Amino acid sequence: MPDLSQITGIMDAIVLPLMGCVALMFAKLTQGEAARWAERQFFAALVVITVVTARTVMMCDDAWLLHTTTLGVMTVGALVIPSQDTLLAV
């Protein structure tokens, strides 16, 4: 049976990247006033993922590659994927 540190490590490797991708998805798929709220939530998630990625890389943790990839996907996705408001304006 895994101990608490192993469970925490697994949750860190699964929940944080999932939270970041869900925040990106909501920021890009919502419209109107809900889109502004979703964008604020996305930027908060981006800050959290950035801090966790820096900690993971400094501590040479096993999940550093996963966190770095998540940070990259969130950054590139925010710039490349068009939002619903942009699509409606065209």
Q: Is 19 part of a structural domain of the chain?
A: yes
Q: Is 27 part of a structural domain of the chain?
A: yes
The tokens for 36 are: 């502004």
A 10 A CB-CB count for 63 gives 18
Report whether 19 contacts 76 (CB < 8 A).
no
Q: Is 87 part of a structural domain of the chain?
A: no
pTM of the shown model: 0.81
Q: Please count the structural domains in the chain.
A: 1
Q: Is 86 part of a structural domain of the chain?
A: no
| Distance, CA of 61 to chain centre | 18
pLDDT value for 87: 57
Number of helices (H), then strands (E), belonging to the chain: the values are: 4, 0
Q: Is 45 part of a structural domain of the chain?
A: yes
Q: Is 71 part of a structural domain of the chain?
A: yes
Q: Is 72 part of a structural domain of the chain?
A: yes
pLDDT per residue as tens digits for the range 34-74? 889 999 999 999 999 999 999 999 999 888 999 999 999 99
Q: Is 88 part of a structural domain of the chain?
A: no
